Amino acid sequence: MRHNARVTHTAPPSVPVTRRDAQTDTYLNAQGEAVVVADPYRWLEDPDHPDTRAWVQAQSAHAQAHLGALPARDAYHERLSSLWNHVRPGVPWARGERYFRMFNPGLLNQPLLQVAPDPHGPWETLLDPNALSADGTVAMAEVSVSRDGQHLAYATQSGGSDWLTWRVRDIASRQDRPDELHWSKFSSAAWHPDGHGFYYSAYDAPAPGGALTAANSHQRLMFHRLGEPQAQDEPVIVRPDQPTWGYHARVTEDARFLIVQVWNGTDPRNLLWIRPLDEAGAFTELVAEFRAMYSVSGSDGDTLFVHTDEDAPRGQVIAWTLGGDRRTVIPEGPDKLEEVHVVPGGLLTLTLKDASHRLHLHGRDGTPQREVPLPTLGTLSLSTHASSPEVFYGFTSFLHPNQPYRVQLPGGTPEPLAAEALTFNPEDFEVTQDFAVSRDGTRVPLFIVARRGLPRTGTHPTLLYGYGGFNISLTPAFNAGRVAWLERGGIYVQANLRGGGEYGQAWHQAGTLHRKQNVFDDFIACAEHLIAQGWTSPTHLGIQGGSNGGLLVGACLTQRPDLFGAAVPQVGVLDMLRYHQFTIGWAWASDYGRSDDPQLLPTLLAYSPLHTLRPGTAYPPTLITTGDHDDRVVPAHSFKFGAALQHAQGGPAPILLRIQTQAGHGAGKPTDLIIEEQADLYAFLEAHLRHAAP
């Protein structure tokens, strides 16, 4: 049921007036009763309509008038430019006789892809994405080098969109071949061992005007032969009967098998299919139903080493023969098993202990052999090969940018491959880990980063960051903006909430569907813990989160507006009744449920930020950020929530929408836009959390 009579409301002169339509929708609850829900800002869902464009311009001007006048804005921009201007070498990986890495010498908008004959160099530029656009908004999203190191398949994304365009570069000549593949998304490239082509995933081209909003369905797995047009690519898996399935392909290192993980939205459970590499026909379905997560870490003849959480919520490793025999190699332990890599004679495991990484080497039979030492609590990214004892990894923490290391297994000492380049003194600050207690008694970890010896006066401007969803773990990582915040007397806190993956599937599931409120309770408990411990107070406490974390901030903002002095929901999922209508939104139902499910409708209505605003309530200063090319969480979420929050605001605090053009969900954003955005964000927080610069 829909009605479209127009009504308007009067807003303060400085706030753009947003038209309110008499649009309603009717849903059914579990009792079969009709539930009528108003949606007055439905018209903002069309990003290309002239009315929407005019509204975006007005909101942007309103936001920039406020942000541009913030006292600390220029100081943040200057300091952020300095903090970002340091050498950032990526983690090397080997293919054939060559080594590859991503590299940024300082303030390039996009990192370079480099190649060298040795991991110590000399490094030469193989591809410079900055040459692909004048403003740095074309980014290299995926790279895959053929096994012989002769060809590079690389995918670019434009303006932050998730859509990928694949090209192929000859590595020796540094020249692109004519190959060009369009309408790929959520895809890597898996090369055939002889280098004549690769597997990738794609969708049909969207209808005109639907590239940034139309629902994505019917992904198919394709094989592209070098030199042939995309129209001649070979369909490997096409399942018109399963529109929500997607496919991730890999080839075993012994070149015997093609393995496909079949995914269904963001549910971590997947199917596992296998067939001999160069044979056509049906796959052997090792896992034929969505019952758990399965990831093939490597193989040894007819035996696959499979990382799974089947009957092991924190993860285990099983050896699985093609004949169907299975045995446990590494059983479930006290910490979450996050990654498993097959290396010569052994298995290298990456585990999470209270949200920071540990690295262990095991024998092929699972026997523990050694723990690889790490500098401090932090996060690892690994690059390995089953046939090489040479392992590369990157290490980062809150106070240390990502630094590449090499270690020779089994007994080598980690060797840093680059000197750490810093423009601040990390010894000026300290990281502690604490635990809050949520409403139901659950212990919730949080990292607290502050100036060393900072007294607990209860007056420090504090930024609490969280996510809490989709089995994603928040681990210690470097961010230059946070350093600038710390230098000016702020505190940064990172909460590890249920819904994430920090403690395995039980922790994840405890923050999904009917249990989603646990995530918000955890975040609120962390805020109250910081106040009780004397770090801060409500007027000095800000909250921030992006994507699902934007939902977190929006929900906590509407549930406890008294608890926070400022809020920054970024690219948030804020309309829980219609999120599944756009692009890949339907895939999130495994965590959220859907409004067309009568059993879930009351739960969604109870926390959906757009639908829980109360007119006349004094909400804290709020900076809502989004990108006009976000085709992951479409900007309509932020548009509608921002308009509704401005309408409901019963206090004097500003409600601002910062809408970035030529930007998407975050991936591939050029450095200069990142610095601009973070300067606005931290200056906004500093001004509204009553923080005076030293």
Q: What is the pLDDT of residues 421-465, one digit of tens each?
A: 788 999 999 999 999 999 999 999 999 999 999 999 999 999 999
Least confident of 12-21, 61-70, 655-664, 680-689: 12-21
How far apart (Å, rounded) are the C-alpha atoms in residues 393 and 399? 18
Two structure tokens written together for 406: 């090499």
Predicted confidence (pLDDT) at residue 198 exceeds the cutoff of 90: yes
The counts of H helices and E strands in the chain are 10, 41
With cut-offs at 50, 70 and 90, classify the pLDDT of residue 344.
Answer: very high
Cis bond upstream, residue 410 (ω within 30): yes
Q: Which amino acid is at 556?
A: C
User: Using CA atoms, how far apart are residues 546 and 571, in angstroms rounded to an integer?
Assistant: 6
Tokens encoding 579: 């999120």
649, with CB counted inside 10 A (0-12, 13-18, 19+), is buried
Looking at 610-614, 623-627, 664-668, which range is the least confident one? 664-668
What is the rounded CA–CA span in Å between residue 202 and residue 186?
8
Non-local CB neighbours of 546 within 8 Å, separated by 6+ positions: 467, 570, 571, 572, 666
Q: How far apart are CA 64 and CA 679, in angstroms?
A: 12
- Residue 445 in tokens: 């970890």
Confidence band of 4 (pLDDT split at 50, 70, 90): very low
For residue 12, pLDDT over 80 is answered with no
Residue (of 478, 253, 255) closest to 387 by Cα position: 253
Q: What is the pLDDT of residue 44?
A: 97
Token code pair at residue 670: 């050029």
Written in H, E and C, the secondary structure of 330-381 is ECCCCCEEEEEEEECCEEEEEEEECCEEEEEEEECCCCEEEEECCCCCCEEE
Average pLDDT over residues 153-180: 97
Q: What is the model's pLDDT at position 10? A: 37
Of residues 295, 297, 547, 608, which has the active-site annotation? 547
Q: Which of 7-11, 227-231, 435-439 has the least mean pLDDT?
A: 7-11
Per-residue pLDDT at 692: 38
pLDDT of res. 422:
87
Q: Which two tokens stand for residue 81?
A: 């430019």
547 classed as catalytic = yes
What average pLDDT does the segment 83-104 reach? 96
Q: For residue 638, which phi and psi values (nearest 5 degrees)? A: -70, -40
Query: What confidence tier does 628 reach under pLDDT thresholds 50, 70, 90?
Result: confident
CB 316 within 8 A of CB 337: yes
Q: Which tokens sit at 109?
A: 């908008």
- Transcribe 465-523 into DSSP letters: E----TT--------HHHHHHHHTT-EEEEE--TTSSTT-HHHHHTTSGGGTHHHHHHH
3-class DSSP assignment, residue 125? strand
Tokens of 68: 């541009």
Burial code (b: 16+ CB inside 10 Å, e: under 16) for 164-199 equals bbbbbbebeeeeeeebebeebbbbbbbbbbebebbb
Nearest-10 Cα torsion for 606, 611, 614, 618: 100
Does residue 414 contact residue 405 with C-beta atoms inside 8 Å? yes
Contact predicate 217/243, CB 8 Å? yes
Could you tell me if 526 and 466 are in contact, meaning their C-beta atoms sit under 8 angstroms apart? yes
What rounded mean pLDDT belongs to the chain?
95
Paired sense of beta strands 257-264 and 303-308, if any: unpaired
The answer for residues whose C-beta is within 8 angstroms of residue 582's C-beta and 6 or more apart is 45, 213, 214, 215, 634, 636
Nearest to 610 by CA among 218, 45, 52: 45
What distance in Å separates the CA atoms of residue 569 and residue 552, rounded to the nearest whole number? 8
pLDDT in tens, 247-301: 999 999 999 999 999 999 999 999 999 999 999 989 999 999 999 999 999 999 9
Identify the H or E element spanning 36.
strand 34-38
pLDDT tens track for 554-582: 999 999 999 999 999 999 999 999 999 99
Tell me: the pLDDT tens digits for 472-515? 999 999 999 999 999 999 999 999 999 999 999 999 999 999 99
Is residue 529 a contact partner of residue 434, using CB atoms and an 8 Å limit? yes
Chain centroid to Cα 612, Å, comes to 26
Q: What percent of the chain has pLDDT over 90?
A: 93
Q: How far is CA 397 from the centre of its chain?
A: 17
State whether residue 443 is helix, strand or coil: strand
Q: What is the pLDDT of residue 32?
A: 94
- The pLDDT of residue 82 is 96
Q: How far apart are CA 638 and CA 582, in angstroms?
A: 14
The two beta strands, 429-437 and 34-38, are: unpaired
Q: What is the mean pLDDT of residues 58-64?
A: 96
Report which secondary-structure segment, H or E, holds 262.
strand 257-264
Mapped to the 3 state alphabet, what secondary structure does 30-95 carry?
Answer: CCCCEEEEECCCHHHHCCCCHHHHHHHHHHHHHHHHHHCCCCCHHHHHHHHHHHHCCCEECCCEEE
Catalytically annotated residue among 341, 362, 611, 665: 665
- Give percent of the chain above pLDDT 70: 98
Residue 1's pLDDT is: 30
Does residue 508 carry a catalytic annotation?
no
* 13 pLDDT above the threshold of 80: no
Distance CA 192, CA 281 (A): 17
Residue 224 has pLDDT above 80, yes or no: yes
H/E stretch holding 647: helix 636-648
